[in-house]
Structure 1
Amino acid sequence: MDATLRIKLSLMMFLQFFIKGAWFVTVGTFLIKNLQATGTQVGLTFMAQSIGAILPPFLIGLLADRYVAAQRLLCVLHIIGGILLWCAGSTAVFGSFYVLILFYMMAYMPTMALINTIAFRQMSNPDKEFPPIRVFGTAGWVVAGLIIGYTAWEQHGQLPYTFKMAAIASFILAFLALFLPATPPLKKDSSVSLGETLGLDALRLLKDRSYLVFFLASVALCIPLAFYYSFTNPFFNEIGIRSAAGIQALGQVSELLFMLLMPLFFIRLGVKYMLGMGMLAWVVRYALFRFGYLDGSEWPLVVGILLHGICFDFFFVTGQIYTNNKAGDRFKNAAQGLITLATYGVGMMMGSVLAGFVVDANATQDGFHRWDSIWIVPSLIAGMVLVVFLFLFKSGKKNINLSSK
């Protein structure tokens, strides 16, 4: 790949994930401290991501497939997103904030697919060319967290700046999109059925018992996942952890490390126990959060953050590879869309609602929370999912082909 093109695509990935990392990690703390939001309202805010992951990506994907160049759609959506983020950081009323973030997520979530479309269309060998470019996305998330930690916006009540920072990055990415390689719509085969166009053909994967077990486990595991995204940052700030966003960025560093180690674990463990280790890591993570809170120690919290590589890579990345192998060439895109809809759409939506309810139920009169009672809930849910999964899932090592990653 041409060096200039590689730089453009890498910068696109960096900015895409920098934008989300700049405000998403600390939004719970912003809502509680700046807008005096309840736990339920925090959960509803994170549910906006799930709503944005359901219908808009399909509609934008349809436009990119048939009518409008992907880089032009990316430009327009990030201009809209930048305006919405800037306004969200300027509001002091939860109702107005929620409407802005809901529409923002409807604009942002489709761009996740668009950046992949733009990148993949420029590659002759995506298996080798994509990972070194995609890694800049994780780097963008880490840099955003480190900036927030360094500036101490959390401690100084200046979290509105995170939305302004994200908005500026969104405008920069919109400008960059004007110089990205042309990615026009591909001509569709007239013989393609409506079901295949809508991605419904991927539903046939659910006829396989093991895949159905994995599919349902993925949805269920996103319930404890929602606790992490919604309330880890408010938890850290409430108990006085300095540079909470910076510490949370260590999770993405861990993600990079375990991504490199995954092939070695695949050889020794196979898909079933890779997925199982990912689930177990969620159980341990929340147990460590609970222990750190009760003991007053910071090290269990840091270890819990560092488990993110196992939590995310071993379950969600392994699941993407497993889905890729199960689907075959004809239904790969539809199958990935189906599992994304089920997890970030349905699973995260249920988790966001439950997390908000649990946090509110454990609020104290002095404005604090009983975090030991809160963290035991997602730990138990992840544990139950793990037990059921290990008992019912029958697939083994032979189902994974690392060359298809």
Structure 2
Amino acid sequence: MTAAIRTKLSAMMFLEFFIWGGWFVTLGTYLLKDLKTSGIEVGAAVTTQSIGAIVAPFIIGLIADKFFSAQKILGVLHLLGGALLWWASTATNFSSFYPVILVYMILYMPTLALVNSVSFRQMQNPSKEFPPIRVLGTIGWIVAGALISWLNWDKQGGEAALVNTFKMAAIASVVLGLFSFTLPSTPPVKRGESTTIGEILGLDAIRLLKNSSYLIFFIASIAICIPLAFYYGFANPFFQEKGMQATTVTQSLGQVSEILFMVMIPFFFVRLGVKKMLAVGMLAWALRYVLFAYGDANSNYWMLILGIVLHGVCYDFFFVTGQIYTDNLAGERFKSAAQGFITLATYGVGMLIGSLIAGRIVDQYKTSETAHNWQTIWLIPAGIAAVVMVLFLLFFRDKNSMATDPALNLDEQKDMRLDV
């Protein structure tokens, strides 16, 4: 891979996640303060991410893999997305905002797979070449948060300026849309081939659930996304109510932590193994919400910061480890299907359930027009994460061989392996 291509792919990743981080982190605050929505409506807005994740495989499987080059579809989706984000900034109430952002997320979520596809097709050794490029995406998310706080769009008091986050993201989306047409050619890989709905959704990997260990992991993955939805939808409004200054850039410390722990994953993987890694990730979710429950902007400010920094452990130890576990279990034949299947389950089904639950709980513990009983609110997802962790530890068995699982026949054992 030449330096020019590496630079283009890095810029693509930076813009891809700059766009998402530029408006999604402060979405809950914008809706509650500017559009005067309820918690249920905030939850509904966050579910657009899940709906987009569910629809994304169809766009990739039916269009990108069969008819058009990935970089061209990426360009078109981001140009349309830029127009939709700008349109969303003009909404004056939730009823006009929601359908626009729903269509936007249906178009945006497939681009997460497209940028990976464009990147991988240019690489000879993805395991070595991809991480330095992908980390630019996390940096893009951090820069977006820093810019929002530097411009005081998330300031305490006064007229809210968070509507500008949609305009900023819209401009970046148009820039990436135009830039995408200069990316290396990535033609469809299945032109002329027939594709089933099961293949598109990754349902060929459903045979993995015949392995009892993976079934427990799969259920835990869906369940742990319920408390995850609380953070995505309501962390920023919570920090605002607690009086934290520069909330958006402060929250980006979680992405800094994510980068650091990503580098350390191989070290921990060898020493802890799959079961302990996944359990530590779930424990981190429970702990961070307890810290949020008892933290404040005064003497217990450190609790809020530590809870944010724990994001690296929460995400890397559970989700990244889970992706590695899935990849090793699936084997060569079902790698892509398996990753699509677990993504559909977590960011699709799990986050969808979590967002709907979170909105109702936040509304239930609203104490005034501008305040909530956050201690109780955060202790609920902390309890959910703790219960999931305990059940996972009780029932998950870290097997070293597929042959020990009688649920799989000999042919299936040849198709799948468990190296971890």
The two structures have a TM-score, normalised by structure 2, of 0.92
After superposition, where does 1:90-101 map in structure 2 within 5 Å? 90-101=90-101
1:111 matched residue in structure 2: 111
Q: Give distance in 2, aligned partners of 1:89 and 1:35.
A: 11
Q: Which residue of 1 aligns with 2:412?
A: none
**Greater CA deviation, 7-16 or 182-191?**
182-191
The reply to whether residue 362 of structure 1 matches residue 375 of structure 2 is no
Aligned to 1:391: 394
Is the alpha carbon distance of 1:324 and 1:189 closer, same or farther for their aligned partners in structure 2, counting shifts above 3 Å?
farther
Corresponding residue number in structure 1 for 2:272: 269
CA gap of 1:394–1:35, structure 2 versus 1, over 3 A, is same
Aligned CA distance change for structure 1 residues 39 and 296 (closer, same or farther; 3 Å): farther
1:380 maps to what in 2?
383
Contact 2:69–2:188 at 8 Å: present in 1 too? yes
Q: In the alignment, what sits opposite 1:203?
A: 206
Mapped partners of 1:351, 1:144: distance in 2: 26
Could you tell me which amino acid in structure 2 is paired with residue 172 of structure 1?
V
> Does structure 2 conserve the Cα–Cα contact (< 8 Å) formed by 1:202 and 1:331?
yes
Per-residue deviation, residues 170-219 of structure 1 (Å, max 9, x unmatched): 00100110100111112469698774455321000011000000000000
What CA distance in whole angstroms lies between the structure 1 residues aligned with 2:230 and 2:366?
A: 15
Aligned residues of 2:201 and 2:341 also touching (Cα < 8 A):
no
Residue 317 of structure 1 pairs with residue 316 of structure 2: no
Structure 1 residue identity aligned to 2:204: D
Which string of whole-angstrom CA distances, capped at 9 and with x for unpartnered residues, describes residues 32-62 of structure 1? Answer: 1100011110000001111111023323332
Where in structure 2 are the equivalents of 1:90-239 lying within 5 Å?
A: 90-155=90-155, 156=158, 157-187=160-190, 195-196=198-199, 198-239=201-242
Q: Within 2, Cα distance between the matches of 1:194 and 1:174? A: 29
Distance 1:230 1:296 in 2: 26
Q: 2-side partners of 1:198 and 1:291: how far apart?
A: 41
Note the C-alpha offset of 1:72: 0.7
Cα pair 1:272 1:397 within 8 Å, conserved: no
Within 5 Å, give how 1:279-298 maps onto structure 2: 279-293=282-296, 297-298=300-301
Q: Is the 8 A contact 1:57 1:109 kept in 2?
A: no
Do the aligned residues in 2 keep the contact of 1:272 with 1:393 (CA within 8 Å)?
yes
Measured in 1, the distance between the counterparts of 2:223 and 2:229 equals 11
Q: 1:397 to 1:198 in 2, by over 3 A?
A: closer
RMSD (CA atoms): 1.8
- 2:335 alignment counterpart: 332
Which amino acid in the other structure matches residue 7 of structure 1? Answer: T
1:22 aligned onto 2:26: no
Contact 2:242 2:297 in 1 (8 A): no
Deviation of 1:92 after TM superposition, in Å, equals 1.3
Letter matched to residue 184 of structure 2:
P
- CA deviation map 1:370-390 (0-9, x unaligned): 001100000000000000000
Q: Distance in 1 between matches of 2:45 and 2:194?
A: 41
C-alpha distance in 2 between matches for 1:330 and 1:192 = 16
SS of alignment partner, residue 54 of structure 1: helix
User: Could you tell me how far apart the structure 1 residues matched to 2:34 and 2:353 are?
Assistant: 25
Indicate how the Cα distance of structure 1 residues 93 and 206 shifts in structure 2: closer, same or farther if over 3 A, else same: same
- Structure 2 distance, partners of 1:71, 1:344, is 24
Distance in 2 of aligned mates of 1:337 and 1:305: 28
Matching residue of 1:69: 69
Matched residues in 1 for 2:104 and 2:118: separation?
A: 21
Q: Percent identity?
A: 57
Counterpart CA distance in 2 for 1:20 and 1:86 is 14
Counterpart check, 1:245 vs 2:248: yes
CA deviations 1:338-358 (Å, max 9, x no partner) are 000000010000100110000
Change in 2 beyond 3 A, CA 1:38/1:342: same
CA-to-aligned-CA distance 1:253-292 (integer Å, 9 cap, x gap): 0000000111111111000000000000001000000111
Question: Which whole-Å CA distance do the structure 2 matches of 1:336 and 1:38 have between them?
Answer: 35
- 1:392 maps to a residue whose letter is F
- Contact 2:67–2:191 (CA under 8 A) maintained in structure 1: no
Cα separation, 2, equivalents of 1:192 and 1:41: 37
Pairwise CA distance, 1:230: 0.5
CA distance in 2, matches of 1:368, 1:184: 52
State the Cα deviation string for residues 286-328 of structure 1 (Å, max 9, x = none): 0000111498621100000000110000000000000000111
Asked if the contact 1:18/1:141 (under 8 Å) is kept, the reply is yes
2-structure distance, mates of 1:222, 1:308: 14
Q: Is the Cα–Cα contact under 8 Å of residues 279 and 311 in structure 1 kept in the other structure?
A: yes
Deviation digits for residues 138-162 of structure 1 (CA, Å, limit 9, x no counterpart)? 0000000111111111125100110
